[in-house]
Amino acid sequence: MTRSLEARMRQAGMGHLIRQARQAKGWTQDELGRRIGYTKTRVSRAETGAQPIRDVAVLSQLADVLGVPPSMFGLADQSPTLASNLDIRTSEGPVDRRAFLSAASAFGVSAAFTRPAAAAEPDPAVLLEKRISACLFSTTGASAAPMPVDELRARLDRARAGYDTCRYVWLADELPRLISAAEATMTEAPTTEAAALASASYQLTAHALAKLLVSGVQPMAADRAVARAQQAGDPLVLAQARRVLSTAARRIGDYEQAERVGIRAIEDLPLAQQACPATWRHAVELWCVAAYAAAVRGDRERSVECYREAASVAAHIDDHHQLQQARDYALAHQISSAFKLGDSATALDAARQVRLDALPTTERKGRYLVDLAMVWQQHGHDDHAYRALVLAEHHAPGEVHTRSSARRLISSLATSPRRGGMPELVGLARRAHVTL
């Protein structure tokens, strides 16, 4: 057998593995492509072996989104299995002291997850705020060229894939370009489709800005998302835009406005018109946003009431995938809400229902682990908080290096009496641009 034939066979074999893993997820080639920033055609060529994927970063991302071992694609897999590490208990008995991440301790946290020294990367938080601010405060789209909506949609999908994989340094450049292209396209051809894509671009920008310390930039992006959504004339797009506006209002302390915007978004959804599962899911998410806003202002009763409304709405979802998405979203919010209410036991109870390996994106994994780390610290277990934070960096370094709450937690752990058992804390702080 010639070497070239052997190579073709290996390429076809890897493509077959990709196809099998994709089909096991129930995804189309287009769906997989959106998750890794590829077109449907590119995925098809990879699966047939006509154009194999050789980029190690893409292969690693592929393994992550498909939920398969990296070794399946010829990559080293040095991380321990984590599913058994997430059996979180809230009792104060002997099991509790051995609970979450005890298995990771057996591997040796610093040995298993120590990141190699690397050249210091720019601070993603600084870059995001600086470059997005410059874009939003300028005449948006003035220096960009319009593009066909299909091309604009593909660019938006790539940016979403970048967000899902926590590539925030890259997004600091890409999001202003995306917004400018969307606005130039709207100026050239102000169609409802272009307006929906422009709104989605601002929504994604607002989500990225939510990782940073509170500023006036996120509300600006959210407000523009709503304005473009109204031009799009699609109630689902408008609901999504109002959700980010509600979040922005809550982050600047305007809790009444946050709830008002969220409830109005629910009222405007066509729920009485034989709504599709996605519409019901958006309603669940909006009730969760309202519940979290209530928790932030310390209103436990209202928060619980909103979660009950979310559960009531979820009962209408008859699609398993949409129901699972709604459930996961609600669980994540319940963890955060209980944390804000100072109820770490309830937060841990919600967290133990989450399977890390079932979370669909790198960003979701990182966000969950950072939230869990904060809950463990609130619960009085700095050692568990540290281990969760190290795991978060292992799975989603961009999330830990960018998110303001992760940085605050690192600073707080530096004063812990248990700091002697946190060998990676100094290196973690350096990579997250935290001065200890």
Backbone angles phi, psi at 404, to 5 degrees: -65, -35
Burial label for 347, CB within 10 Å (0-12, 13-18, 19+), is buried
Better-predicted residue by pLDDT, 121 or 421: 421
Domain co-membership, 108 together with 127: no
| 245 belongs to a structural domain | no
Q: What pLDDT does 267 receive?
A: 87
Q: Let me know if residue 388 belongs to a domain.
A: yes
355-371: pLDDT as tens digits: 888 888 999 999 999 99
Last residue of a domain, one of 178, 209, 233: 233
Whole-number Å distance between alpha carbons of 308 and 320: 20
Residue 310 lies in a domain: no
Looking at the fold, whether 94 and 191 belong to one and the same domain comes out as: no
Query: Which pLDDT band holds residue 3 (cuts at 50, 70, 90)?
Result: very low
**DSSP state letter for 402:** H
**Which pLDDT score, from 0 to 100, does residue 141 have?**
55
- At 69 the three-state DSSP class reads coil
CATH of the domain at 7: 1.10.260.40
CA end-to-end span of the chain: 59
Percent of the chain clearing pLDDT 70 (strictly above): 83
| Selected residue with higher pLDDT from 413 and 323 | 413
Nearest of 114, 130, 132 to residue 431 by alpha carbon: 114
317-343 residue pLDDT tens: 988 888 888 888 888 889 999 999 999
Give the pLDDT score at 81: 30
102 and 140 inside one domain: no
b/e 49-63 (16+ beta carbons within 10 angstroms → b): beebbeeeebbebbb
Q: Flag whether pLDDT at 92 surpasses 50.
A: no
Q: Identify whether residues 105 and 201 lie together within a single domain.
A: no
Report whether pLDDT(292) > 60. Answer: yes
Same domain, 378 and 432: yes
Which residue, 233, 259, 277, sits at the end of a domain? 233
User: According to the model, what pLDDT value does residue 80 have?
Assistant: 31
Q: Clarify whether residues 56 and 128 are in a common domain.
A: no
Instruction: Provide the token pair at 273.
Output: 């018109």
pLDDT given at position 248:
94
Q: What is the mean pLDDT of the chain?
A: 83
Does position 190 have pLDDT exceeding 60, yes or no?
yes
146 shares a domain with 226: yes
Confidence of residue 175 (pLDDT cuts 50, 70, 90): very high
| Domain-embedded: residue 389 | yes
Q: Is residue 251 situated within a structural domain?
A: no
Count of domains observed in the chain: 3
In this structure, the number of other CB atoms found within 10 A of the CB of residue 169 comes to 19
Please, which pLDDT band fits residue 75 given cuts at 50, 70 and 90?
low
Do 90 and 189 lie in one domain? The reply is no
Both 190 and 153 in one domain: the answer is: yes
Asked if 108 and 16 sit in the same domain, the reply is no
> Is residue 13 very low, low, confident or very high in pLDDT (cuts 50, 70, 90)?
low
Range of the domain at 175: 123-233
Q: For position 329, what pLDDT does the model report? A: 86
Q: Which tokens belong to 108?
A: 């040796």
In-domain check, residue 433: yes
Q: What pLDDT, in 10s, does the model give residues 202-260?
A: 999 999 999 999 888 999 999 999 999 999 999 999 999 999 999 999 999 998 888 88
What is the predicted pLDDT for the residue at 189?
92
Residue 18 is predicted with a pLDDT of 84
* Predicted local confidence at residue 78, as pLDDT: 42
Lowest mean pLDDT among 103-117, 141-155, 165-179, 269-283: 103-117
Would 302 be classed as within a structural domain?
no
**One domain for residues 97 and 134:** no
128 in the same domain as 108? no
Of 208, 233, 258, at which residue does a domain stop? 233
> What's the confidence (pLDDT) of residue 15?
80
Which has more pLDDT, 163 or 107?
163
Sorting pLDDT into bands at 50, 70 and 90, what band is 125?
very high
Q: Is 101's pLDDT higher than 80?
A: no
- Structural domain contains residue 190: yes
Are 113 and 390 within 8 A, CB to CB?
A: yes
Nearest to 397 by CA among 82, 114, 71, 155: 114
